[in-house]
Structure 1
Amino acid sequence: MAIYQVTDNEIKTISRTTFSQSGLKEREDLQRLLKHQIEVISPETLVVAEEFGEWDESRRRIDLLGIDKQANIVVIELKRTEDGGHMELQAVRYAAMVSTLTFDRLVDIYADYIKQNELGLDAQASILEFLGWDDKEEDEFAQEVKIVLASAEFSRELTTTVMWLNDYGLSIRCVRMHPYESEGKLLLDVQSVIPIPEVEDYQVKIREKRQKERASRSGGRDTSRYSISFNQELVYSQIRKSDIGYCTVQLLNEKDLINQRVFEFLRADNTCAFQLLKLESEVTETNKKYNKYRVSREPELIYDGQEYYVARNWGKESAQAFANKISARFPEITYSQHSD
């Protein structure tokens, strides 16, 4: 659709151009400008890295890496081409690669970006302020990786692929950037193509409905939560399955119930297919990659001068089995399950 300039005597067409014709380059110009005003294509986003590519056996780099107000990772890809190429598939690969980033790792990444751009900021304090957090909340961090694709145009093949991927739970936004020339000035028309702003809420609701229907047909993902009581007094309310081992160990420790026999009982437990308690030196790189133990935090149990971390690999059946096992050993501790 054309853009027009209205004067006293006429409605004048403003000529559309291309990025290549206007001399704008993908990295040197678009990326350089957008990283300082990322809200143009991705509102409520903090850019934390440029040309990010810190992974093994790959020379691929993310144009811009960010985080949004909900603490989701945001992968931003820019293209000057007229159809966007195959940027959606490239961005999905990038999203997979950064999906395991921890809060502490993101702080380190942002610190490097701050240094490179001479921003003079404290990385962790800036991220916490942006998120509105008093302290890091690892459980709420990076629950989703979102993708923003920005290009002069998108092919039908690309948009069809994006809509299909979004329907299956991904969050990909396509932003079209059309350059125009008028009286020696370069103008930029920025429009959201997917989702269409006027029906975005509707599209999100339809996508969520379809996802729930698919989950229902397949048995669904268990999102139940647990509460833990001690002598019928509620101690932990509505915790995630991933925290059932951690909260149980904390409760036992707080109630001074961990003696040598109990410690050996906990150390021997592998109900969730992982050893319940591990020293940091026992946590493998694979364990760390998939956050099976949160070694980036302070030690979760200190016993006999040794620092231990608690396994987080709980499913519905293993969580219930663990609850039964603990209640059998400690009748004063009871668990209740809550379904969504």
Structure 2
Amino acid sequence: MALYEMSSEHTLSTVPLTSFASMGVYERTHLQKALRGLISAITPGVETMVLAEEFGDWVGANRRIDLLCLDKDAKLVVVELKREDGASMELQAIRYAAMISAMRFEQAVEAHRKYLSSIGSTEDPEQAIRDFLELDDGEPAALDDKVRIVLAAASFGTELSTTVLWLNKQGLDLRCVQMRPHLFDGRLLLDVQQVIPLPEAAQYQVAIREKEAQQAVVRSSERNMTKYHLTIGDRSYSNLAGRRVIYEVIAEALSQGVTMAAISGALAGKGDSAFLSAEGRLNEEQLLERTGNSGSGYFSQDSMLLHAGGRTLAVSKRWGDQLMDSISSVVDLLPSPAISIEVSSPTGEPEVVNFEGYEIKQDQSTTITVSKDGITCSPTKPVLRSLAAKLGIGIVNGAGKEMNTRQLGARVIESVKARVE
């Protein structure tokens, strides 16, 4: 479809479609560099991090993966780019996916180490991956054995599109993202849209079924499976990792007027390192700039930042064997405790409830999926908001911010279970 500009006189004029070639834009030098800096542009709805660029660490390799990425479910993601027509790129990407399907976690760490070095970053590669996957300290990690594929090009022919649709029906996960360049007022604009699977077409949402069949990221019997059920007043959170428990407890303490200094003083052995902190009401970028910290190891996302005493705070994710003592120390500071923390007993079976025709599922790794009539709803959060409203439950966490998908899904499940009981 064409791109139009609407004038102040409410008339439409076409924004000319151009080509990357005519604009002197090359795949590796320009497109690849731009997309590695904002990988979310071609991975809508799936939080993704770049692991490596031009990856080809396998025996006999003479071709390289443009961008090797990782998603929140610990699935590797092969990203292949073409600046013009994407003919036959799906076959190349499938070969790459097969070659890396046996990659181990430590190999991913080493690939990320090389990538960080190439872009001049001193960030710890293993910690960066663990933080992205939200793994607790000391928790063993493994990659999922399924690999996703993202094909990004200016156009896709009928042959490729038909092939991708058929492969998705067979259980593979291939997505086609179209990048159409337009020239406007001397500037190059990209119209980026996922065209396969079409978000509006339920029959082509096979790629989203990964959520239904997702496997636990870590299968080792030694994995620390400890999750907690947390109740603060009339709010309940199910299957929280330990570091999320202490985050919610600290958020509650601050909301009750306990000072950051008091909390730091109660955390023996942790002290000021429990927080990243700077004066003013800041966003993530401003906080990291003020503190000179990369944010690794802290809940530094905008939605997780806390504000108290005229300062912005990011809570640490790293507590080790001090976790339970630290939680108890903060709870002891609360004027009105009303907090209950219980260890969840993982059974290996997902928790499933049904409400208003929807099936809401929380698997062993606490990932939430919502489906209706056998079709997975994506994105999930708007549906959860609607269900929460019908259940008459709030969607705000202890920090006074909207819950993330896992928190909101857990709250909806708890509320539906309470109705049944």
Task: Kindly state the Cα deviation for residue 119 of structure 1 after the two structures are TM-superposed.
Answer: 1.4
Report if aligned partners of 1:15, 1:181 keep a CA contact under 8 Å in 2. yes
Q: Which residue of 2 aligns with 1:23?
A: 24
In structure 2, which of residues 126, 129, 139 is the aligned counterpart of residue 127 of structure 1?
Answer: 129
Report if aligned partners of 2:80, 2:89 keep a CA contact under 8 Å in 1. yes
- Distance, in Å, in 2 between the alignment partners of 1:12 and 1:195 is 30
> TM-score of the superposition, structure 2-length normalised?
0.48
Q: Write out aligned runs for 1:78-89 (5 A).
A: 78-82=81-85, 84-89=86-91
Q: Write out aligned runs for 1:65-80 (5 A).
A: 65-80=68-83
- Distance, in Å, in 2 between the alignment partners of 1:46 and 1:81 is 25
SS in 2 for 1:170: coil
- Distance, in Å, in 2 between the alignment partners of 1:61 and 1:136 is 33
Structure 2: which amino acid aligns with 1:6? M
2:117 is the alignment partner of 1:115? yes
- Distance, in Å, in 2 between the alignment partners of 1:23 and 1:183 is 17
Structure 1: which amino acid aligns with 2:192? V
SS in 2 for 1:29: helix
CA shift digits 1:294-320 (9 cap, x unpaired) = xxxxxxxxxxxxxxxxxxxxxxxxxxx
- Distance, in Å, in 2 between the alignment partners of 1:80 and 1:206 is 24
Q: Write out aligned runs for 1:4-43 (5 A).
A: 4-9=4-9, 10-43=11-44
Q: Which residue of 1 aligns with 2:168?
A: 166
Structure 1: which amino acid aligns with 2:64? R
Structure 2: which amino acid aligns with 1:204? Q
Task: Kindly state the Cα deviation for residue 203 of structure 1 after the two structures are TM-superposed.
Answer: 3.4
Report if aligned partners of 2:72, 2:132 keep a CA contact under 8 Å in 1. yes
CA RMSD of aligned residues (A): 3.0
- Distance, in Å, in 2 between the alignment partners of 1:75 and 1:136 is 28
Q: Which residue of 1 aligns with 2:100?
A: 98
- Distance, in Å, in 2 between the alignment partners of 1:5 and 1:27 is 30
Structure 1: which amino acid aligns with 2:147? V
Unaligned runs of 5+ in 1: 213-222, 224-237, 248-337
Task: Kindly state the Cα deviation for residue 120 of structure 1 after the two structures are TM-superposed.
Answer: 1.6
Q: Write out aligned runs for 1:177-196 (5 A).
A: 177-196=179-198
Task: Kindly state the Cα deviation for residue 56 of structure 1 after the two structures are TM-superposed.
Answer: 1.1
Residues 146 and 207 of structure 1, relative CA distance in 2, 3 Å threshold: closer
Task: Kindly state the Cα deviation for residue 204 of structure 1 after the two structures are TM-superposed.
Answer: 3.4
- Distance, in Å, in 1 between the alignment partners of 2:67 and 2:141 is 24
Q: Which residue of 1 aligns with 2:231?
A: none
Unaligned runs of 5+ in 2: 223-348, 350-421
- Distance, in Å, in 1 between the alignment partners of 2:183 and 2:59 is 43
Percent same amino acid at aligned positions? Answer: 44
Residues 68 and 90 of structure 1, relative CA distance in 2, 3 Å threshold: same
Structure 2: which amino acid aligns with 1:23? G
Task: Kindly state the Cα deviation for residue 135 of structure 1 after the two structures are TM-superposed.
Answer: 4.4
> TM-score of the superposition, structure 1-length normalised?
0.59
- Distance, in Å, in 1 between the alignment partners of 2:112 and 2:61 is 21
Q: Which residue of 1 aligns with 2:329?
A: none
SS in 1 for 2:155: coil
Task: Kindly state the Cα deviation for residue 130 of structure 1 after the two structures are TM-superposed.
Answer: 0.6
- Distance, in Å, in 1 between the alignment partners of 2:128 and 2:84 is 34
2:71 is the alignment partner of 1:63? no
Rg comparison, structure with higher value: 1
CA shift digits 1:168-190 (9 cap, x unpaired) = 11100100000000111111000
Structure 2: which amino acid aligns with 1:61? R
Structure 1: which amino acid aligns with 2:66? D
Q: Which residue of 1 aligns with 2:271?
A: none
The structure where helix makes up a greater share of residues is 1
2:177 is the alignment partner of 1:175? yes
Report if aligned partners of 2:4, 2:12 keep a CA contact under 8 Å in 1. yes
